[in-house]
Amino acid sequence: MAATSSQSVYRATTTAPVNIAVIKYWGKRDTTLNLPTNSSLSVTLSQRSLRTLTTASCSSIYPAEDTLNLNGKPQDIQSSKRTLACFFPLRIVSENNFPTAAGLASSAAGFAALVRAVADLYQLPQSPNELSRIARQGSGSACRSLMGGYVAWRTGELADGSDSLAEEVAPASHWPEMRALVLVVSAEKKDVPSTEGMQTTVNTSDLFATRAQSVVPERMSAIEAAIQARDFPKFAEITMRDSNTFHATCLDSWPPIFYMNDVSRAAVRLVHDINTAVGKTVAAYTFDAGPNAVIYYEEKDSELVAGTVKAILGANTIGWEGAFYERLANVTAPGVA
Ligand code: ADP
Ligand code: DP6
Ligand code: CO
């Protein structure tokens, strides 16, 4: 006998990409709406290597409780306001094909995929702008994963957050030579989740306000100009300096927060050594809230940069298959794998 419609299970499956910031978001001026204290800018990576795959389903035959299964494990979502903010009674099954909570933007891809899957399920409006606004409330960085290429998230000024939006500043096709190498130093879950870490920094770091108010605004304009001009040395210097400034505010927090480890620092030294050896800037490192490095470079320098990094640091990485090399691609339709 065919199932009656009341017994049907409605499903929607989608994927979302990771984005790695070159100007970091770190600090909230409103913790409920996830409104940032500074603007940020990121590069959306191809879903061919790093992606979240999420299925949202609902049915009258499901138990009344919402559930979220992440990487095969049931999550405690009843106590998580940020997850509940994003959906109504339903069942979510999600899988990241890369380390979760390890500084590779799993919350960005995760919440972008969650919001898109729920919107698909309920056939809600699909514009990246609207989905981005909702995803931001799950995890701030998620608002940038609904767009492809080079994406800015502007702080905005309004208390309701309606002008705190992500926007594409250039499509991936604008700079097709750009590549990113993902160096997985550790797949362990970090000790201090991003949400908690940035709150400690806001409350305790003396450097924090200077970065947010005086340093980042100039860097935002400078990196946007570098992207428009495809000026790799400029893009690279700002990227490395902002990663370092962000980690300096973590160290300046009380108690201090350490996201980078010895292998991360070896990667920093190696990139500077490569750039010094060739007499120009061909590689740029950046670290999110975790020890794992993302190294940006241009395709023409692939052998020099990726080859050298792999030869020298390969033994210190966990050899996570498929993730070591990452090529950026145009992902202007992030719902499409
Ligand atoms: P990351 O550096 O990986 O973004 P965060 O501390 O920002 O680390 O966030 C990690 C948290 O994001 C996880 O503990 C989980 O709560 C949430 N998360 C990660 N992936 C997903 C996903 N696919 N679906 C839903 N939530 C996710
Ligand atoms: C270092 O977006 O993970 O990766 O909004 O609290 O979920 P919540 O934090 P999250 O913070 C990301 C911090 C970062 C920098 C960035 O992605 O811009
Ligand atoms: Co995160």
ipTM above 0.85, yes or no: yes
* Residue 183 contacts residue 293 (beta carbons within 8 Å): yes
Write down the pLDDT at residue 319.
58
Nearest CA to ligand 2 atom 14: 288
* Residue 53 contacts residue 16 (beta carbons within 8 Å): no
Write down the pLDDT at residue 326.
53
Handedness of CA 204, 22, 226, 224 (dihedral sign): negative
Closest CA to 117 of 336, 335, 328, 271: 335
- Compute the mean pLDDT over every residue in the chain, rounded to the nearest whole number: 90
Helix, strand, coil % (nearest 5) of the chain?
40, 20, 40
pLDDT digits (tens, 9 = 90+) for 46-81: 898 899 999 999 988 888 788 999 999 999 987 666
pLDDT exceeds cutoff 60 at 9: yes
Q: b/e per residue, 54-83, with b = 16+ CB within 10 A?
A: bbbbbeeeeeeebebebeeeeeebeeeebb
pTM over 0.90: yes
* Residue 44 contacts residue 17 (beta carbons within 8 Å): yes
Task: Kindly state the average pLDDT of the residues 263-270.
Answer: 94
Write down the pLDDT at residue 334.
41
- The pair of three-digit structure tokens given for residue 150, joined into one six-digit string: 């080079």
Write down the pLDDT at residue 89.
84
From the CA of 139, how far away is ligand 2's center (Å)? 7
Give the contacts of 100 (CB within 8 A, at least 6 positions apart): 70, 71, 106, 110, 189
The CB of 96 under 6 Å from ligand 1? The reply is yes
Percent of the chain at pLDDT exceeding 70: 90
What distance in Å separates the CA atoms of residue 250 and residue 245, rounded to the nearest whole number?
Answer: 9
Task: Kindly state the average pLDDT of the residues 94-117.
Answer: 96
If one compares 100 and 86, the residue with the highest pLDDT of the two is 100
Task: Kindly state the average pLDDT of the residues 10-30.
Answer: 97
The CB of 14 under 6 Å from ligand 1? The reply is no
3-state secondary structure of 155: coil
Report the residue count for the chain.
Answer: 337
pLDDT digits (tens, 9 = 90+) for 152-201: 999 999 999 999 999 999 999 999 899 999 998 888 999 999 999 999 99
List pocket residues of ligand 2, CB cut-off 6 Å: 21, 24-26, 34, 40, 105, 107, 139-141, 194-195, 288-289
* Residue 262 contacts residue 247 (beta carbons within 8 Å): no
Q: Is 230 left (phi over 0), alpha (psi -120 to 50) or beta?
A: left
Write down the pLDDT at residue 60.
85
Residue in 141, 155, 216 to alter for ligand 2 test, most ligand atoms within 8 A of Cβ:
141
From the CA of 133, how far away is ligand 1's center (Å)? 18
Task: Kindly state the average pLDDT of the residues 195-212.
Answer: 98
What is each CA distance from 276 to 143, 230, 307, in whole angstroms?
Answer: 36, 21, 16
Write down the pLDDT at residue 12.
96
Percent of the chain at pLDDT exceeding 90: 76
Write down the pLDDT at residue 324.
47
pLDDT exceeds cutoff 80 at 315: no
pLDDT exceeds cutoff 70 at 2: no
Write down the pLDDT at residue 6.
73
Write down the pLDDT at residue 264.
93
From the CA of 267, how far away is ligand 2's center (Å)? 22
3-state secondary structure of 297: strand
What distance in Å separates the CA atoms of residue 115 and residue 229, rounded to the nearest whole number?
Answer: 34
The position carrying tokens 């924090």 is 208
